[in-house]
Amino acid sequence: MKPSHCHLHIGTLPSDASALIDCIEQHNFICKLTALFPKQFTQSSEYKNGINKELCSGYLVQASLNNILQFLLAVENLETDDGPSIPYLKLVLLDRDITHEDTLCLAKGQLHLRLTQPTYQSSGFEGKKSQVSQGNNVVHQQFHDITIDLTKGLDKQLKQRDKNTSRLFWYAENMKNVKDRYFISCGNCDSSNLQRVLEQFVDSCTLKQSQVRSIDLGLCNIPDLDAAFVDPIGKSSIVKENRMSSLADTLEWITYASIGGQQLFPFDSTDDYISSYKSLLEKKSEAKLFKVDFSGALIDTELTITTLQNLLSSNELPWFALLMYGVRDCNTSYGESTAHGFSEDGCNDTVLLVSPRLSKYIAWEIVDSSDSHH
């Protein structure tokens, strides 16, 4: 099934490697990473020494927004070997429904707030009408987005009486008795240092580490994946439509295989009246598939890139796929300013299909219809 809103990128390695890495780095809040590949890779040194041994960590905290701001002020003075920690800090406000509640997140040094009309009106922020509210003329249902650049210094902007920064602290002070749950991680900061700073300000702080599950999916039917890389998209509308339809079928197979879809098994007996997927699949071969899931914490960009590099370094792999699932109830998805919404299904995912043998890759960025990502 073709996703309703999807951005497609096709590239060649190594010439387009930077674009591939950028695609991964731009995806801010990945909560689950799945690596799918032929089982033969599990016998390689790259697998045994790397892919299934990586871990991510972060902290589940209970705190008021006022506590969080005090924490951010403290982090501004936290230097590491890689420089300031603010650009590497990720923070997500949990337990909020993005469709009708205030939300907050931090990524790439940008603090993003999406406020309901009552909150926006009473707090005095200067923002802009959110992308998710475009076309909605019912004022009390509208959202407004505010972004504060923390790389300029939160304390510095407060002392300079920057309007939105001042209103943020005023708003937080008025909400100091409201406690929320946040998930916080930092890519360049030792977890013990992050915990030490957090515990000075928050009510509770619990370490969460990613869990790794390795699953043998067994023998599966596989379509002609090489065709996805080799066939040109073409300029004529008919050729382009056929090509895009073929790529959508490839994406559907990857996602179905990643969950161990039973109709991919050669001996599956699902009746065609229930589902015709198996009879419509143009099978080219059969192979044993394997997957590794990382979940339970925000997945570091570094882990995703390391996993990609480990898989790329194997000469035995004809192909592999990476599936990156983003947080759905989050107001920002890609880069520094991509508004994310939940008007349809809240999709915020990236799927990569890579052929080390052909030195090519395909990336699908799957988003919600209300997203501003281009």
Nearest Cα residue to 331 out of 195, 127, 156, 173: 127
Answer whether residue 148 shows pLDDT above 90: yes
Residues 230-242 have pLDDT tens digits of 755 655 555 566 7
Average pLDDT estimate for 258-273? 84
Q: Which has more confidence, 341 or 40? A: 40
Predicted structure pTM score? 0.89
Residues 149-170 have pLDDT tens digits of 999 999 999 999 999 999 999 9
At 1 the pLDDT is 53
At 344 the pLDDT is 55
At 315 the pLDDT is 74
Average pLDDT estimate for 70-83? 80
Answer whether residue 146 shows pLDDT above 90: yes
Give pairs for 192-198: CB < 8 Å, separation 24+: 193/78, 194/59, 195/59, 197/71, 197/74, 197/75, 197/78, 198/59, 198/61, 198/71
65-75 helix and 163-174 helix, angle to the nearest 10 degrees: 130
Give the 3-state secondary structure of residue 153. Answer: coil
Average pLDDT estimate for 136-148? 80
Q: How confident is the model at residue 345 (pLDDT cuts 50, 70, 90)?
A: low
At 265 the pLDDT is 86
Answer whether residue 316 shows pLDDT above 90: no
Supply angle C-alpha 267, 271, 292, rounded to 5.
50
Rg value, the chain, Cα: 22
At 82 the pLDDT is 63
Answer whether residue 94 shows pLDDT above 70: yes
Answer whether residue 275 shows pLDDT above 90: no
At 184 the pLDDT is 96
C-alpha distance from residue 370 to each of 26, 94, 134, 365, 366 (Å): 18, 21, 9, 14, 12
Strand 180-186 with 128-129, pairing: unpaired
Give the amino acid at 207: L
At 111 the pLDDT is 96
At 333 the pLDDT is 77
Average pLDDT estimate for 31-56? 84
Q: Looking only at Cα atoms, what is the longest distance across the chain?
A: 69
Average pLDDT estimate for 315-323? 90
Most confident of 48-57, 241-250, 289-298, 325-334: 289-298
Q: How confident is the model at residue 370 (pLDDT cuts 50, 70, 90)?
A: low
At 173 the pLDDT is 95
Tokens, residue 18? 């930077």
At 56 the pLDDT is 87
Residues 289-315 have pLDDT tens digits of 999 999 999 998 889 999 999 898 887
